[in-house]
Amino acid sequence: MKFSKIIGALIAVVQLASALGLVIGMHSMLGVFSTAMSGGEQGIEIQFTDPVIVPFNLAPRNGGFVDTVLEVRIAMIVDGVEVAYDTASVSIPAGSSVPVDLELSVPLEDAEEYFQEGTELQWETDISVTSLFDLISFSNHMVMEAGAE
């Protein structure tokens, strides 16, 4: 067999594996990202206790064929200053769902000040999904004005 044919076969195998990896990795990665985002759209029910608790419940689901890692960071920004944050990092095996529960804890006295009219309140979220043995990633940094949908 000619050497050029061997190289040709090698190229075909690598290209096929690469295309397959792209499709499988993207499927898992975007699936986890979209389900994590849809969980965050359910609305925030603030618990006015002392301290005030702001819970965020995500239910990312990996419907793909390779494991993914989801990293989430949520922060509360008041007048440009970060006053509370929480982070979580979970590994989501292929075909399963892992709930991610985050909460921001703010002393009641401070919260009353933050939630009054005239203060500029923002929610900042960082969602990062890596897949295909950490070779590919998708991330979203979002800043949302309080009251925006």
Partner 1 sequence: MTSKSGAVISALITLVLFVGIPYLLPSYIPADLLAQVESSGFDLAGFTNQIMIIGAVTAGLTLAVGFVNPNSVLSLILRIAQAGLSLVFIVVFLGAGNIAGLGYTEFDVAMEGVTSSIAMDLRVFVYISIATILLKVVQVYLEWNEERIEAAPPGRIAP
Site for partner 1, rule CB under 8 A: 2-4, 7-8, 10-11, 14-15, 18, 21-22, 132, 135-145, 147-149
Cα distance from N-terminal residue to C-terminal residue, the chain: 64
CA atoms of 58 and 35, how far apart (whole Å): 8
Nearer to partner 1, 101 or 134 (CB): 134
Q: Pick between residue 4 and residue 116 the one whose CB is nearest to partner 1.
A: 4
Residue 11 vs 46, nearer CB to partner 1 = 11
**Minimum CB–partner distance for residue 10 and partner 1 (Å):** 7
The alpha helices in 41-122, defined as continuous H runs, are 108-114
> What minimum distance in Å lies between the beta carbon of 18 and partner 1?
5
- In angstroms, what is the minimal distance from the CB of 52 to partner 1? 22
Angle at 65 between CA 60 and CA 69, to 5 degrees: 45
CB of 121 to partner 1, least distance (A): 11
Identify the bridge partners of residue 33 per DSSP, sorted by sequence position.
Answer: none
Q: How many CA atoms are closer than 13 Å to the CA of 27, on its beta-carbon side?
A: 12
